[in-house]
Structure 1
């Protein structure tokens, strides 16, 4: 069905991605009510929105990626959607921390099915000439889902409460999952040699591919580094209130609005411009990625020192929202072009695992620990210096992309065809 209607497939995947991020971030929108109703401590709440997510999402992204390479990707997505939606509804019935933790663990486990399978599907449905655009549109689901989760909490949730909101979202997701399970996927390459292997064999083969392709490793390494921006974003409101003098409520609305606008703009512009400019630039898509970091990086650094009333301050803030989302289209295009067809979802799952472990988990922990230590030593602006560290690490992604551009194949020399690595068949 989707092979003949790729844009319908893209629209459906975008809608499911938005729903995923609404379900994921709804806990943030209702944080005061949930903490009060369940009697949570700040540490318990932090576990629910942080560690419990990474513990399941990262590992399950690899496992479900191998399933998506081996079986029907639409049904893998449908299965994941069914699990996370049912457990989103279950979250609305939770009576204590343990029940909420179990529900959120399974929500993240189910959501881990979506990105690896969807990215692999889009890589097949769209030629390399349009692939970055399609993937960029799909990743609009991140800022849109975050924005809609807060909007829904402030409208429907304000009237009906957090429990009814979670239950309603769960029912909607279950209905979509059941419908999607009946959608037949017809792959272009349906032969057995184009299907993934059982889990452990698939993982070993994928690791051999990554170990034998330094350019692909460099791209994934740079993609992980640029996600240090999200570690900085976790502390953005705290920094702006404590060290830059903003009112908490006003700056929260500003952050939400600008992230929604410039995150969405980044997703679309990065994909579209990457596809158009890559054919004219040295290094193709990777060269375009270097250009994005080179433009946004200095603005992000200047933002830390600019007066809050200046235009440069807000330009730098918006650059931080724009950059990581703008890289999703071109980066995933490169990964797909260099990954074997039957390992695309698996390798996409590996990248999700590395991002969640190193950038999200370790990054957030490092910012907190470093800022605490600087504060104890008497530093006047501890969060400023800690967040500068995340900015510098994100900018260092350009070095990884430069390495990949120098040693790897271009991704735009033969539109619609997989790169040299992608054409190989590994047992």
Structure 2
């Protein structure tokens, strides 16, 4: 047994929570928070063509706004705030970060150039980095282990709903403001229709932040008595002791995030460039279809993970691996479809299959990690997903489109190539992590968590 595991063994005996109404209310509110995060993060993808036109931006500059401008401060802020969350201030971290990124989203509507938008995106990224690690740690303390896949399916539904609502609401608002004439505001500049969308969608988060403060309690930690959390060095020692699980799993989610963030950033532009569907038409269609298929897939996947979890300790990663594998052919061929309707149908099937592993993935990190270390472990994975994948996924697609394909119309082939190269590799890496993950789960059970 390693030194880090010895320290975990010294923690107090666990108390297993019941799935009370209060617990499920906490999960639901945290799902609303992450939904708002995805709306505020993702709405910019629907504005690619209007921003390029009105601000004179290139594809590469757009990719920097979507990626690096957001993720740089995500990297800077996330780890230290996760340490604060592990010391028992999780609810406060969630509420304050929500208020900050919501205000920053609204202020993006005042931006007049690339650098002002980049500043707004930086504040959004820094604030959002703090929320998810604290939220996922809270969920593991209010819901029993055997129901965690369902709880994280609800939480992950917030991701799916937010991404879809960004397209639906953004598209509807762009349609409603289609004939809005730019207005000159003294001291600021021109305010255009797409900027109004930023302002409108940023404001609800301020209300929800207040509700979090008033209605969601700070959960009592389960299975541990480390009120100061774990220092970073001990976290790294724990990861090293379980590197058979963490190294391939981190690599897998990184490759998957390249695909997902890259596709999310450029799919609206793909529909406009390939089929002539602008934001007002593509947004609602993509959003509604994505929302329905994702929600159904998440809860079917959670049910499978809970059923298999009664029989196997490594059930979560088995489900994740299978969903990665079966989604590959649909995601690869989607950009090659001859009509937008077929592209939406094929993409919906791929998304339905892929998202079935969402609840299982989030559950896997919690059940294989000591309680007072979860915030920092979650932050590490979110750093890989959002900071590295979120920055480089959109950028790599833009660079290949600009400098290799050489034509905006070839975006469809770039999207296809990304999936074809990265999806099989990420599936293989998850498969390599399955057996070490099972051992890690059994170790946590033996230690009383």
- Shorter-chain TM range is 0.7 to 0.9
Q: Summarize the alignment of residues 281-292 of structure 1 with structure 2, pairs less than 5 Å apart.
A: 283-292=314-323
Gaps of 5+ in 1: none
Q: Check conservation: 2:100, 2:124, Cα contact below 8 A.
A: yes
CA distance in 2, matches of 1:296, 1:156: 32
Given candidates 39, 54, 64, the residue that maps to 2:71 is 54
CA deviation after TM superposition for structure 1 residue 33, in Å: 5.5
Q: Check conservation: 2:297, 2:356, Cα contact below 8 A.
A: yes
Verify: 1:185 aligned to 2:218, yes or no: yes
Query: Deviations for 1:391-424, whole angstroms, at most 9, x for unmatched residues?
Result: 33223222222222223326887xxx9445785x
Q: Against the structure 1 CA distance between its residues 185 and 382, is the aligned structure 2 distance closer, same or farther, given a 3 Å change threshold?
A: closer
Q: Against the structure 1 CA distance between its residues 315 and 126, is the aligned structure 2 distance closer, same or farther, given a 3 Å change threshold?
A: same
Query: Deviations for 1:122-141, whole angstroms, at most 9, x for unmatched residues?
Result: 11211221111111111112
Q: Summarize the alignment of residues 16-415 of structure 1 with structure 2, pairs less than 5 Å apart.
A: 16-31=33-48, 39-42=55-58, 43-155=60-172, 158=176, 161-163=193-195, 165-182=197-214, 183-189=216-222, 193-197=226-230, 202-213=231-242, 214-230=244-260, 231-236=262-267, 246-249=275-278, 254-280=285-311, 283-303=314-334, 316-371=346-401, 374-375=404-405, 383-384=412-413, 387-409=416-438
CA deviation after TM superposition for structure 1 residue 163, in Å: 4.9
Q: Check conservation: 2:86, 2:229, Cα contact below 8 A.
A: yes
CA distance in 2, matches of 1:395, 1:404: 15
Query: Deviations for 1:6-45, whole angstroms, at most 9, x for unmatched residues?
Result: 11111111122222222223334455555666x3523544
Q: Against the structure 1 CA distance between its residues 300 and 92, is the aligned structure 2 distance closer, same or farther, given a 3 Å change threshold?
A: closer
CA deviation after TM superposition for structure 1 residue 386, in Å: 6.0
Query: Deviations for 1:82-119, whole angstroms, at most 9, x for unmatched residues?
Result: 21122223333444443332222112211112211111
Please give the TM-score of this superposition, normalised by the length of structure 1: 0.81
CA distance in 2, matches of 1:60, 1:167: 24
CA distance in 1, matches of 2:392, 2:103: 30
Query: Deviations for 1:225-272, whole angstroms, at most 9, x for unmatched residues?
Result: 222331244444555676xx5333366654344323323333333223
CA distance in 2, matches of 1:349, 1:145: 20
CA distance in 1, matches of 2:118, 2:165: 23
Query: Deviations for 1:280-308, whole angstroms, at most 9, x for unmatched residues?
Result: 45832112222222322233345466665
SS of residue paired to 2:314: coil
Gaps of 5+ in 2: 1-18, 181-192
CA deviation after TM superposition for structure 1 residue 273, in Å: 2.3
Partner residue, 2:5: none
Q: Against the structure 1 CA distance between its residues 340 and 41, is the aligned structure 2 distance closer, same or farther, given a 3 Å change threshold?
A: same
CA RMSD after TM alignment: 3.6
CA distance in 1, matches of 2:277, 2:211: 42
Please give the TM-score of this superposition, normalised by the length of structure 2: 0.78
Q: Check conservation: 1:133, 1:272, Cα contact below 8 A.
A: yes
Q: Check conservation: 2:71, 2:387, Cα contact below 8 A.
A: yes
Partner residue, 1:7: 24
Count the aligned residue pairs: 410
